[in-house]
Each structure stands twice: as C-alpha cells, then as structure tokens.
Amino acid sequence: MTSHLTRADLSVAAPIVEFAEASLADSGRDVDAFWAGASAIVHDLVPRNAELLATRDELQKRIDEFHRANPGLPDRDAYRALLTEIGYLVPVPSAVSVTTENVDPEIATMAGPQLVVPLLNARFAINAANARWGSLYDALYGTDAIDQTGELAPGREFNYTRAAAVVARGRRFLDEIAPLTEGSHTDATGYRVDADGLIVQTEGGDRRLATPAAFVGFTGETDAPTGILLVHNGLHAEIVIDRAGRIGTTDAAGVQDIILESAITTILDLEDSVAAVDGEDKALGYRNWRGFMDGTIAESVTKNGRTFTRVPAADRTYRTPTSAASAGGDGGEITLPGRAVLFVRNVGHLMRTPAVLDRNGDEVFEGIVDAIMTALGSLPELEGPNRGSNSRTGSMYIVKPKMHGPDEVAFAAELFGRVEELLGLPPKTMKIGIMDEERRTSANLAASIAAAADRVVFINTGFLDRTGDEIHTSLHAGPFLPKAAIKQQPFMKAYEDRNVAIGLASGLDGRAQIGKGMWAEPDLMHDMLEKKIAHPLSGASTAWVPSPTAGTLHALHYHQVDPFAVRATLPPVVEEALDALLVPPLAADGDLTDEVVAIEIDNNVQSILGYVVRWVDQGIGVSKVPDIHDVGLMEDRATLRISSQLLANWLTHGVITEEQIDDSLRRLAVVVDEQNAGDPNYEKLAFTEGEKPGIAYTAARRLIVEGAAQPSGYTEPLLHGLRREKKAEQA
C-alpha cells in the first residue's frame, strides 16, 4: 500500500511527493511555498467541484422524472421548456470570439492525423510522439491498404510483387501532390537539384514540377540527393533515395521510400486509455510526461532478439533550394520537428483520488491534482533548458474530457489560472482542449467555448462517450436502438455537423483544432482509407487514429482534401439542428426482435469482458480486444461506457433480464479466455459451479446490472475500486 507524507496540511502519496519535489528542485522553486499554494487551490476549489457534480445529479433527476412521466420520444416544445427551466440549456451567446494566442501551427493552421496513447506506457508514448513521420511504403506493404490476396499476399518472405504495387501507389501519390509539367514520377530515372529547383530525370528528358514551390528542401548533394522534401496542403513528404537499398536498387530512380509527415499532434493520455487508480500509478504518468518535457524519456525495447533504447526522434534538417544556387552550397537550411506536438489529457471533474488527501483526510478531486502536477512536469519545456522542444510558442496543451456544459469549462479555466499563479507561469500558458462528448456540452457548445475563449485550442467529437451519455441522460425515455443503429440516427449527424459549424462561428479557424473521433479497427486499413476521408471533408482539421501506421495512411486524406478550404463551403448553424440533437435514438416497435436482442447482448457482453479483464487484472487501459467475430477493435473506457449503458437501458425497460445477462457472461467468459490463451499474464474469467467469480468477472457484471445508477453512466467509480482491490490481492 502506498504511504503518504504530510505536506502543508495535505497528505500526499510518497511517489507524488518524490515527483513534485524533484521537479521543484530542478526548476529552483520553493518547496514549502508550492505545497502551501497547492493546498490553497485544493481547499478553495474542491467544494466548487463538488457543487458542479451535485448540479449534474439534480439535472439528471429532473430529466428522469420527465421521462418517467412522459415515456417515449419527448414532445419537442415540452422537452425544450423543461431543459431551459432547469438550466440544462443556457442562452446562446450573441457572439463568441475566440482570442487564444501563442498556438503552434500544428494546432492552429495545419491539418493532419492525431494519435491518443496511454502515458503510463512509455514505449507506446514514444512511438506515438515519433509518429510525426512515417514510412508510406511500410504502411502500404504491411496492411490491407494493398490487396493481400493471390500474388500480392505478404507471405513469410519479402514479396517483390507486392512491393511493386506499393511503389506504384507511391508514385501515384507523388503525381497527386507534386505533379510534373509533363509526364509522371513513374517515369523518373533520377532526381537532381539546380538553381531553378527540382529536376526529375526521365527517359524523355528532364522535367520540372508544375508547382515549383512544392519543392522545399533536400539532403545530400545537388547532383545526387539522398532526400527530396516536398510540401502539399501544409504537410511534408520526403522522397528517400538510396540506390543500395532493397527497394532502391530495383527502382529506376533509386527511390527507397516515401516518408510522410503524419501524426502532427499526439495526446498523451492520463484518462480513458489508462488504469491509474492510486498514487503509484499517477506518479508514473507524471514522470513520463516530465520525461517528454525535459527530453530524458527513454525505454529499452527488445524486438526480434535485439535490444535497443527508444527515445524521442530528433528534428529533421534539410538544405533549402536556395543553397543549390549559392557558390559554397550553404544558402540555407530548413529544420522540421521530428516529433508530434504533444497534448496531455487530464481526467475530468468526476473522480477523487487517494493520491492526495485534504486537511480533513478526504480524497481530493483527481482533475485538480492532474492540472497541478502535469503543469509542474511541463516546466523544463516551458522555461528550462529544453524550452521549445514541444511548443515553440511557449504553451502547454491540456485536453480536458467529460465536462458537462459551460460552467464546468469555466471551472477548468479557473483551475488552470490558479495553477499558473502557483508556478509563476505567464497567464494563459495552459491551453484547453474541450472534448465535446457529453450531451450538455453539445447542446451548449457555443457557451462552452465562450467560457474558455482565451484558452481553447481544440474541440472534437466522439461517438462512444457521446452516445454513452445520450443513453444515460435519456435512460428512462425508453429502450434504445442497438449501437450500430444509433450511429445512423439524426441526432448523431446533428452532433457532428454542429460541432464544426459552431467551432467555426466561434472563431476557431486559425487558432484551434476541430477534431473527429477514432477509427477503432487497426487491422482494417483498406476500409479506413475508404471511409475516414469523411473527416477532412467535414472541415475537421484532425481525427484520431489507432496506430502510427494508421496515422501515415490517414495523412493521405489531408493531401486529397484541404479541410481549411472545405470550411468556406459549409452551411452555418441552424436552430433546427439543436432540435435534432435532443431527440434520443429510441427503438420503435419491431426494432428489437428476439434475434436482434440476443446478438446485441452477446456482442456487448463479449466486449465488456474482453476489456475489463485486462483493465482490472493487469492495469491495461487500452488494447486491441477481439470482438465476438475475432475482429480486433481498439477499446478504452469509452467503449465500455456505451456497451454497459446500452445493456443497463435494456434491463431498465425489461427488454432483457439479469438471467440473460448472466447466461451471456458465463458463455462468453469461455470465449474471452480462449482469445487470451497466448497471454502468460492472463487470469481466466470462467469459473465452475460453486466457485467464486473473480474480481474482473464481478466488475463486468456490476457495470451492467448497476449501470443505471452510475453517475452519468461512467465506469470509473466501479473500475477504480475493483482495480485497487485486485492490486491488493496481487501484492
């Protein structure tokens, strides 16, 4: 059990104290003054945080009463009147003008993929930070983005036929982003640089780029470059030339690879993708964040029998085209960041943590602790020797999830201001990303943005948490549709469209990201290439991807579509969209047949078991969980929330029974055990008659049968307690 130390009038877990005081020593700050200031923040803001949660409960109580008295789809006027009367809907600001300053271009003016990765896993986090640049050839060869059947099947040995298909796709890409005045990059036999720019040699003669400005740099010599740097729609691509390489030796122009600027931003997560339940877990996350900020993070990795150390990638330097015209070849350089610009996702306002206790011995809200400690961890990058290695504008970027409406956003902004005062940071250093994933925030998005108009750098949408909250908010209105059908309902389109339109109307263009949600099927890259182009087509400047490889492939979409240009064509916000947003996706007569219900129970139960067993037993917050058809899906707590809330809704309305849930849990525990048979750390879920079920199995069942009683349908209260119980058992 983690020990606690007294600091000011707080009781703080020893690993948190160690992290904080080492950080304070490095930055030259007074330890006693820090803890006194931290205590003041805690004792001033904890009661306010509790009041916000009480408001959530009161609003939910009033909505539940309305639906019990008026089951089914609510009357529009009566429902709007209720939501307005109780303060769920607030007046729309007459005008919102975002004024956020000192925002890095990757967030304000560039468009590209975004990764989200658990901060407690240093190896994953370093990989994600380094996913700023990725091999197009590897991404195409190693996934189903290129057909994997017949002569194109990857196989155990290197398949040169498949490689040729990859190269052909790469040449088409070059023709799309940097077309020639005549002919095609497919015809290239070499690349050179002269005083007038890039020369593409072909058998038909030398060719130039149709848009000369697309060529922005090179490495090597002018007559034998080893790299050609191009730019298109604000993103870079490098043609790697190596005539001795496995691909380059077979390529007429010696092209070994095409490296794409890919995940230009990454969110290092302390929330839904981690299992951080105590001071030890939290301190690990804070140390890893500081490691990125001071440049010391490193992780030893063993792969294919070889051990090496993984560290954040270095910046990339190229000679500019003007250097080819200078007598000494030293006409200038261009340096591009080697790593994504990093956000850190703090937790929301709900959970308290045993890592810090107040003067009364009560647990402090975790979000308050996160704000203080992650800002403390940012000091080496904001003012120390590593200054500017993440943000070249002196900002710290925090994604704040699960906020319900403008008052909660305003509270987060106030908290950030207090932390800036505590650490002596310039006002507005700490920027906020507002996750539009709770219904009250969606319905009041303009007011929520206005509440942090001088800090906001990010809004986004996400199907899973948003639908989980939709179900819980309208739990008593009636039975909901199955998950796949919910996604097609009018409220979801209204949600997605309003987010972009309100963001633009509020002045986010040129100051902040507008994002879209996750592609959850990391093995289905062909489908992703077909479908995820919808995100830049919506005007969103970023969207989440499940892996660095997916980031490189999704980057292709931002070359095909410039979302900043799309924005000029989008319609404005209309009042009717709010009406559509407030219509819960209830099932109609005949929708929930016995077959549909049986399939949906098993799909959701399998998902819950497959995720919870790793969370509770091993502390794994995100992983690729095989579904009932053995298709790997990236799952985190948002997936768990929607699955458990749907089944809780059906239990509430008698669509299913606890007996059906128990039958499904028992049958599918065996399936999940089989799917995890290769994991030496796995503990079985299945149990025989007379045996006591394990903690993970109990967690899965409770999340369903007690789901209706969970605050906003969140899974954290149950999961955290049961994970701590499991850790005690394992100690």
Give 641-654 pLDDT, tens digit per residue: 999 999 999 999 99
Q: Strand pairing of 430-436 and 133-135? A: unpaired
Q: What is the pLDDT of residue 706?
A: 98
The token pair that represents 729 in the structure block = 């058992």
The token pair that represents 398 in the structure block = 């925090």
In 3D space, the residue among 58, 138, 144 whose CA is nearest the CA of residue 527 turns out to be: 144
Q: What is the dihedral of CA 510, 514, 520, 522, to 10 degrees?
A: -10
Q: What is the pLDDT of residue 328?
A: 53
- Cβ atoms within 10 Å of 302's Cβ, excluding its own: 8
Spatial distance between the Cα atoms of 244 and 242, rounded to a whole number of angstroms: 5
Q: What is the pLDDT of residue 100?
A: 98
The token pair that represents 665 in the structure block = 């849990």
Contact 184, 201 (CB under 8 A): no
- In single-letter form, the type of residue at position 628 comes to I
Q: Strand pairing of 341-345 and 265-269? A: parallel
Contact 265, 106 (CB under 8 A): yes
Q: What is the pLDDT of residue 326?
A: 60
The token pair that represents 468 in the structure block = 């989980």
Beta-carbon-side half-sphere exposure of residue 326 (alpha carbons within 13 Å): 12
**Rg (the chain; Cα; Å):** 27
In 3D space, the residue among 521, 645, 636, 634 whose CA is nearest the CA of residue 272 turns out to be: 636
Q: Phi/psi class of residue 630: alpha, beta or left (left: φ > 0; alpha: ψ in -120 to 50)?
A: left
The token pair that represents 224 in the structure block = 């034998």
Q: What is the pLDDT of residue 626?
A: 87
Contact 49, 370 (CB under 8 A): no
The token pair that represents 503 in the structure block = 């963001």
268 Cα distance to chain centroid: 8
Nearby residues of 699 by Cβ (< 8 Å), 6 or more positions away: 612, 615, 616, 718, 719, 722
Spatial distance between the Cα atoms of 674 and 604, rounded to a whole number of angstroms: 17
Q: How far is CA 439 from CA 352, 436, 491, in A?
A: 23, 8, 11
In 3D space, the residue among 36, 13, 42, 24 whose CA is nearest the CA of residue 371 turns out to be: 42
For 134-155, what is each residue's pLDDT tens digit?
Answer: 999 999 999 999 999 999 999 9
Q: What is the pLDDT of residue 325?
A: 65
Burial of 681 (0-12, 13-18, 19+ CB in 10 A): exposed
Task: Look at residue 495 and give its three-state secondary structure.
Answer: helix
Question: What string of DSSP letters covers 556-624?
Answer: HHHHH--HHHHHTTPPPP-THHHHHHTS--BPPTTTS-HHHHHHHHHHHHHHHHHHHHHHHHH---SEE
Burial of 679 (0-12, 13-18, 19+ CB in 10 A): exposed
Structure pTM?
Answer: 0.97
Spatial distance between the Cα atoms of 459 and 461, rounded to a whole number of angstroms: 7
- In single-letter form, the type of residue at position 324 comes to A
- Cβ atoms within 10 Å of 97's Cβ, excluding its own: 11
Contact 15, 281 (CB under 8 A): no
Task: Look at residue 322 and give its three-state secondary structure.
Answer: helix
Q: Strand pairing of 224-232 and 235-241? A: antiparallel
Question: What string of DSSP letters covers 215-266?
Answer: EEEEEEETTEEEEEEEEETTEEEEEEE-TTSTTGGGSTT-EEEEEEE---EE
Q: What is the pLDDT of residue 1?
A: 63
Q: Phi/psi class of residue 614: alpha, beta or left (left: φ > 0; alpha: ψ in -120 to 50)?
A: alpha
First to last CA, the chain: 8
Residues of the chain with pLDDT under 50: none
Dihedral sign computed on CA atoms, order 585, 589, 591, 595? positive
390 Cα distance to chain centroid: 18
Q: What is the pLDDT of residue 331?
A: 65
Instruction: Output DSSP code: residue 324.
Output: G
Q: What are phi and psi of 433, to 5 degrees?
A: -105, 125
Q: What are phi and psi of 497, to 5 degrees?
A: -70, -40
The token pair that represents 446 in the structure block = 């303009």
Contact 697, 687 (CB under 8 A): yes
Q: Which residues are catalytic?
A: 345, 636
Dihedral sign computed on CA atoms, order 287, 288, 289, 294? positive
Contact 49, 411 (CB under 8 A): yes
Nearby residues of 299 by Cβ (< 8 Å), 6 or more positions away: 122, 123, 126, 309, 310, 311
Give long-range contacts, CB 8 A cutoff, 24+ apart: 717-725: 717/350, 717/351, 719/275, 719/277, 719/612, 719/615, 719/616, 719/637, 720/277, 720/351, 722/616, 722/695, 722/696, 722/698, 723/275, 723/277, 723/615, 723/616, 723/619, 724/277, 724/278, 724/354, 725/695
18 Cα distance to chain centroid: 29
Spatial distance between the Cα atoms of 333 and 315, rounded to a whole number of angstroms: 12
